[in-house]
Structure 1
Amino acid sequence: MSASGVVSLRFEEGLARLRLARPEAHNAIDRAMAYELLDAASACAARPGLRAVLIEADGPSFTVGGDLRHLHGVGDDLPAELQRMISRYHAALAQLGALEVPVVTAVQGAAAGGGLGLLWCADVVIAADDARLASGFAKLGMSGDGGSSWAVTRLAGARRAWEFLVDGRVLSAAEAAEWGLVSRVVPAAGLAAESERTARRLADGPTRAYAHLRRLIAAASGSSWAEQLDAERQVMAELALTDDVRDGIAAFLARRAPTFNGR
C-alpha cells in the first residue's frame, strides 16, 4: 500500500485480509484511504490463487464514511476533490464486487455514509451486536455515494430505502439483519473469530461455483425467469468440466468430504 498506510492488505493461504487502519479517525475515508482502497482492490483482482477476501477495520468503528474534516479543508476545491475521491472509491467497490471469489465484511460500531459500500460489495456481512448503520447524507445536503441507493433498495425495498436514505433512520445491528442489510449478528467479542471462520470456510469451498453464483445472484433482479433458467443451464454445463464438480460427485457417493481446488 502507499506510504500513509491507512489500508492494510495481507495474503494468507488464498485469503486476502483487507483492513481499514485509521482508527484514530474512526476509519473516516479521506483521499489517501480512497486511493489505497483502489490499490488493494486491484491487488486482489490481480492475485493468482485468491480464494476469498475478508474486509475488516481497526478500532471501535468500522467506518464513519467520508472524512468531513478533510472535505471542509479543501474549500472551493470540494467538487473536484469529491470527484477524485469518489471515482477511485467506486472503482475499488466495483472491483471488489466483480471478484471471482467470495467477499466477507466484518462490521463493528459505526458503519455510515459512503463507507457502507464496503458492506454492499460483500456476499456475507457479519455484524457485531454493537454495530449501527446510518446514511447521514441528507443531513449534509448530499444524496450519497458508495452504492446505497442501489443496494438498500434492492435488499430492503424502496420504502425502507427512503426511510434509511432520506429520513435518516439509524439501524441497530438487529434491525439491519431484519431488513436484510447484514447476514447475521454476533456478539462483539466474537466478531473477528466468526468472520475469519466464515472467510476461511468459503476459501476452502468450490470457488469456481461461487464466482458464477455471485454473478447469477447479482443478475437475478434484472433477469426474467426464462433468462435466469438459461443462465443457470449454461453455468452448470461449464462447471461440469471442473475438477471441483468431479470430486464433489465422487465424494458424495463415497461419503467423504470433497477437496475443492478451484480448477
Structure 2
Amino acid sequence: MSDRTVLEIADGLARLRLTRPDRRNAIDMAMAGGIAERMDQLVAATDGGDVRAVLIEAEGPAFTVGGDVDHLAGQLDRLSAELDDMITRFHGALARLAELPVPVVTAARGAVAGGGLGLFWCADLAIAGDDLRIATGFARLALSGDGGSSWHLPRLVGLRRAQELLLGGRVLDAAEALDWGLVTRVVPADELATHALAVARELVEGPTYAFGRMKRLLRESGGNTYREQLEAERAAIVDCGATSDGREGLAAFAERRSPRFTGR
C-alpha cells in the first residue's frame, strides 16, 4: 500500500487524504497506484453500507500540483508508456469515485492543478480555501491533459471558458473559481479543514439512498432526452418512496420535526 495516501473510515464517514506534502502532493506512479487501491477499499466499504459520505483532503499548503513533473522528466525514454500506466490507474480510480452512490466532499487549498483537478471535479461539494489557485498547466508541458478536465469543464463553465483554461492556460484564484461555478463555496484557508469536516458529517446524517439517486440522475442527464430524463426521475423517486428514509422524511415534515435518516 502506498504511503502517499491514507483512508480512514469511522461513523459512516470515509476520509481520503493525500499525504505527500513535501512534493505538494504531486502524483507519481506510487501515488496513482495508491489512490486506485484506496478507491477499491472505498467502493467495498460503500457497498457494505459502512460509508455514507466521503471527504477528500490533503496535507500541506497545496491540495495537489498534479502529475509529478520531475518523475516524468526522468522517464523521457519511455514517457508514453509511463503516462499510459499512471493515467490508466488514476482514471480508473476517478471513474469509481464519480460513480459512488454517496456524497463526495473535496476540501482544497493552495494549488489544484493538472490531472489532480480530477479529484476536485468529482466532488458533489467542492469546498475551497481562500488561497486556492486552479490551473490546468497542460499546454505548458505540451500534453493534452488528463483527470477528466475535458469532460467536466465544458459542463461546469461552458466551452469558451474551458478553452481558456486548457489552451490558454489561465490560472484562477478562489474568488474567480467561485464566480465561474468551479467551487461550491470559499472559506478562510485556516478554517477549511474544520468547515469541510462539518459539511461531510452533516451529509452522513442525510438520506443516503436518495443522494445516490440524485447523483445518478445528474450524471446521466447529459445523455438523455427530456422524456428519458422524466422517466428516470419517475423511477428514482418511486424507488426512494419504498425506502424507510423516504417514509421518515415525509412523516417528519408532516409532524414538524427533524428527520432521523438511517441511510436505508
Per the normalisation by structure 1, the TM-score is 0.98
Structure 2 residue 46 is matched with structure 1 residue 31: no
Aligned to 1:196: 197
Aligned to 1:118: 119
Identity %, equivalent residues: 55
Aligned to 2:10: 12
Aligned to 2:219: 218
Which structure 1 segments of 5+ residues have no match?
Answer: none
Deviates more, 1:251-260 or 1:201-210: 251-260
Distance across 1 between alignment mates of 2:31 and 2:83: 13
Give, in angstroms, the shift of residue 91 of structure 1.
0.5
Aligned to 2:90: 89
Aligned to 1:166: 167
How many pairs align? 261
Distance across 1 between alignment mates of 2:176 and 2:76: 37
Deviates more, 1:111-120 or 1:68-77: 68-77
Distance across 1 between alignment mates of 2:124 and 2:237: 21
SS of residue in 1 equivalent to 2:100: coil
Distance across 2 between alignment mates of 1:88 and 1:98: 16
Q: In the TM superposition, what whole-angstrom CA distance separates every residue of 1:138-158 from its partner, at most 9, and x where no partner exists? A: 011111000001111110000
Q: In the TM superposition, what whole-angstrom CA distance separates every residue of 1:87-144 from its partner, at most 9, and x where no partner exists? A: 0000010011011100000010000000000011110100000000000000111110
Give, in angstroms, the shift of residue 12 of structure 1.
1.4
Within a 5 Å distance, the mapping from 1:75-154 to structure 2 comes to 75-154=76-155
SS of residue in 2 equivalent to 1:29: coil
Within a 5 Å distance, the mapping from 1:171-250 to structure 2 comes to 171-250=172-251
Give, in angstroms, the shift of residue 178 of structure 1.
1.0
Distance across 1 between alignment mates of 2:83 and 2:116: 14
Give, in angstroms, the shift of residue 239 of structure 1.
1.0
Aligned to 1:56: 57
Distance across 2 between alignment mates of 1:184 and 1:221: 24
SS of residue in 2 equivalent to 1:19: strand
Amino acid of the structure 2 residue aligned with 1:88: R
SS of residue in 2 equivalent to 1:205: coil
Aligned to 1:259: 260
Q: In the TM superposition, what whole-angstrom CA distance separates every residue of 1:200-230 from its partner, at most 9, and x where no partner exists? A: 1111100100000001111222222211111
Deviates more, 1:33-42 or 1:69-78: 69-78
Give, in angstroms, the shift of residue 8 of structure 1.
0.5
Aligned to 1:40: 38
Give, in angstroms, the shift of residue 75 of structure 1.
2.7
Amino acid of the structure 2 residue aligned with 1:22: R
Q: CA RMSD in A?
A: 0.8
Give, in angstroms, the shift of residue 249 of structure 1.
1.1
Distance across 1 between alignment mates of 2:166 and 2:247: 46
Amino acid of the structure 2 residue aligned with 1:89: F
Aligned to 1:21: 19
SS of residue in 1 equivalent to 2:220: helix
Give, in angstroms, the shift of residue 70 of structure 1.
0.6
Amino acid of the structure 2 residue aligned with 1:179: W
